[in-house]
Amino acid sequence: MEQILEVDKLNCIFNKGKKREVTALKSVSFSLGKGECLGIIGESGSGKSTVARIVTRLLSATNGSVMLEGDDLNNISKKELYKKIQMVFQTPVESFNPRLRIGVSVAESLKNAGYSTSETKERVANLLEECGLTSDYANRFPHELSGGECQRAAIARALAISPDILICDEATSSLDVTVQKEIIALLDNIRKAKGEDISIIFISHDIALVQAFCDRVIVMNKGEIVEMGDTDEVIKNPKDEYTKKLIASVL
């Protein structure tokens, strides 16, 4: 399989030299294949969101490299990058500008990509509906949405320009299981339609969901990858002690 993203020996230290110094990532390496869906599970605080934020250049690693289709991420302008990579953030409410209506936020990437006003409006309405909201949510402000509605708006925003890489950081954690099922079906349909043209990193605490949706999975603990492999294989026959404990804890 051709790789779209190659992450090599990422280290990330926060607040170096201060009392609250913390090593968030220790030599994290993995790659994402074209058309692949890669799950990341693991301990709270193990560095999953940090990986996502480095790959989207919201954060710089202390060292290590990320290559997107063979180019160093640092050599790609953010504007170009966000035409290729989009992310659904872990805390949906905070990820929206509180002063902008939902429709404006969802449309932002479309405007940058040169859509006309009427095309944009139609696309936004369709996206909101695909994510289980009605098109009139475009007129609301973020604080006027429930937690799960805001999360669905965030998914709509990330899908707007049909990115090559979609990063979902706990993207369904505020959804009830029936809505979650619909969102997963939507993502499945996009994968079927786009084939190799969409690759997904799916960070989640829901191990059953990861098993149902992801091809491969990475398990993280304390800033390190402790296990990586075919999802079913890892979940059915975990080798690492932490992975075993994690899987045994599911309620």
Residues that bind ligand ATP (CB under 6 A): 14-15, 22, 24, 44-50, 90, 143-149, 174
Q: Which is nearer to Mg ion, 107 or 171 (CB)?
A: 171
Q: Which does 247 bind (CB under 5 to 8 A by kind): other proteins, Mg ion, ligand ATP, none?
A: other proteins
Which residues, at least 6 apart from 9, have a Cβ–Cβ distance to it below 8 Å? 27, 28, 29, 63, 64, 65
Annotate 104-114 with b (16+ C-beta within 10 A) or e (fewer).
bbbbbbbeeee
In one-letter notation, the amino acid at residue 90 is Q
Point out which span in 1-9, 44-52, 108-116, 190-198 binds other proteins (CB under 8 A): 44-52
- Distance, CA of 36 to chain centre: 13
Q: Which is nearer to ligand ATP, 24 or 210 (CB)?
A: 24
Q: Which is nearer to other proteins, 10 or 175 (CB)?
A: 175
- Residue from 61, 85, 149, 217 touching other proteins (CB under 8 A): that is 149
Residues 5-34 that bind other proteins (CB under 8 A): 14-15, 19-20, 22
Q: Does 58 bind other proteins (CB under 8 A)?
A: no
Other Cβ atoms closer than 10 A to 9: 13
The least CB distance from residue 43 to other proteins, in Å, is 5
Q: Which is nearer to other proteins, 26 or 181 (CB)?
A: 181
Distances (CA, A) of 80 to 84, 112, 183: 7, 10, 27
- Residue from 147, 208, 244, 245 touching Mg ion (CB under 5 A): that is 147
Q: At what angle do helices 147-159 and 177-194 cross, to 10 degrees?
A: 0
Contact present, 128 and 137 (Cβ < 8 Å): yes
- Distance, CA of 195 to chain centre: 18
Cα–Cα distance measured from residue 29 to residue 224, given in angstroms and rounded to the nearest whole number: 9
Contacting residues toward Mg ion, per CB under 5 A:
49, 90, 146-147
Contacting residues toward other proteins, per CB under 8 A:
14-15, 19-20, 22, 41-45, 48-49, 90-91, 93-94, 143-144, 146-149, 152, 170, 173-181, 205-209, 211-212, 232, 235-236, 245-247, 249-251
